[in-house]
Amino acid sequence: MNALAAFQPAPMCQRLSARPVLMFPVLGAVYGLVLLYCAAWPVTRGWGGGALAVVLALCLPFVNRALLRQLWPFVAMAALYLVYAVLSTLGLFETGWTRLFDPGAIPQQVVSYPALLVLVCLFNRVSYSSGLMAGDNAVLTALGLKLVMAAVSAWSGEAGFLAALFNVENLTNQHAMPLLLFFYWSMVARPSVGWTVLGGVYVIACAGTTSAALLGVFAILFGVLACRGRTATLIVALLAIFSVLAPLFPLQLLSLDANSGVRAFFWRDGLELAAQSHFIGIGLGTELVRNYYPSLPFDWRLVDDGSGHLIFIGLHSSFYQALVRVGMAGLLLLGLGCWRLCALARQNARPALAWMALCTLLTSLTVNPSLDSANFMFANALMIAWLLGPVRANAKAQRA
């Protein structure tokens, strides 16, 4: 029997009566807000809480409690962040070696997990309202936004149109993850010369435009392993090993690859900061910037944004970020959440696509603070919505 046909819609993923034409304006408004938020940074630094609150308000009608029960570790993580936000506002955490405590940044940092959950519900509903499988609607919307972002970048002189279109910043920048996965899926599920050539060009462009040699290798591996199903797990294993060992050799890694070396410094300092807090966490509202960071070979501005404030850069890892912000409890919840996503991928009616979505998501979590950032939140929500797609009819029998 065809494996793709042997599925039954999960209760939270059944087709709904709402028309896609009513949902695309919502998606457009959501994407428009995040595009404005990112394009106008750091002017919009203080708008984070308000902008994401509007996003939540737009998406609340799409919340599905049955779906959220499938993601209970992330729901618990959102609750933990809310508790830490209250404690941070009361000033109960020490700032450690961080250089600035800004209570105005707390709403921006605390709203990411609740917003992620609401967006997952939204994308899941959009994906199945029109009968299209695997989130095609949302992918096409993201593709359109990527074209708009490329045009804006070209108009502003930041980069050429093609460079802005293909430069996906190590597989994880903003909406690049679902686009990259979409091309891989096209090569697997809809094999044709045209799709294969287009996907291959995208992968080569991705690897060629990244500034990180080691992470560029991961980009190439994704392309090579895309048609090999679960062998993409190798990438996640390599990244896990890299994230554990890199903090031990930051200087050596910096000499080999500046981008990866900078991450090693961030992760090493994050471990030190977590240890100073006795792994309870330092709370929210603090800037994770040390005095020597501006001297590192890093493209982003790390110091003054014109108003005397420092720009929050994060630790470039969702796992290290959780450990530093909300302590060991947050790290354990994030680990349980990833374990839950693995279980959902195994039950999915399209296991190859689901596994690629999972590996792409885990790559993002490993090398960027993607669960704490509006830049990556929407791509992550789409990945998780794919994992919550239709389940195999024999999933329970296979688990027995």
Q: Are 145 and 31 in contact (CB under 8 A)?
A: yes
Work out the pLDDT band at 124, boundaries 50, 70, 90: confident
| Beta partners for residue 241, in sequence order | none
In whole angstroms, how far apart are CA 108 and each of 8, 85, 113, 115, 391?
A: 39, 10, 11, 11, 35
| Domains: count for the chain | 1
User: What pLDDT, on a 0 to 100 scale, did the predictor assign at position 168?
Assistant: 38
400 within a domain of the structure (yes/no): no
Q: Residue 97, exposed/middle/buried by CB under 10 A (0-12, 13-18, 19+)?
A: middle
Statement: residue 36 has pLDDT above 90: no
Give the model's pLDDT for residue 65: 87
Dist. CA 116–CA 397, nearest whole Å: 32
Stretch 91-113: mean pLDDT, rounded? 74
Amino acid at 234: L
* 2 lies in some domain: no
pLDDT digits (tens, 9 = 90+) for 59-84: 788 788 888 999 999 999 999 999 99
Over the stretch 153-183, which tens digit does the pLDDT of each residue have? 444 444 333 333 333 343 334 444 444 445 4
* pLDDT at 238 exceeding the cut of 80: no
| 61 domain-assigned | yes
pTM over 0.75: no
Beta-carbon neighbour count of residue 363 at 10 Å?
Answer: 24
Is 218 a member of any domain? yes
pLDDT value of residue 26: 65
Flag whether 214 is in a domain. Answer: yes
Q: Residue 303: inside a domain, yes or no?
A: no
Domain holding 360, by residue range, is 19-294+309-394
Q: Is residue 10 domain-resident?
A: no
Residue 207 lies in a domain: yes
pLDDT reported for residue 330: 96
Distance of alpha carbon 113 from alpha carbon 102, whole angstroms: 20
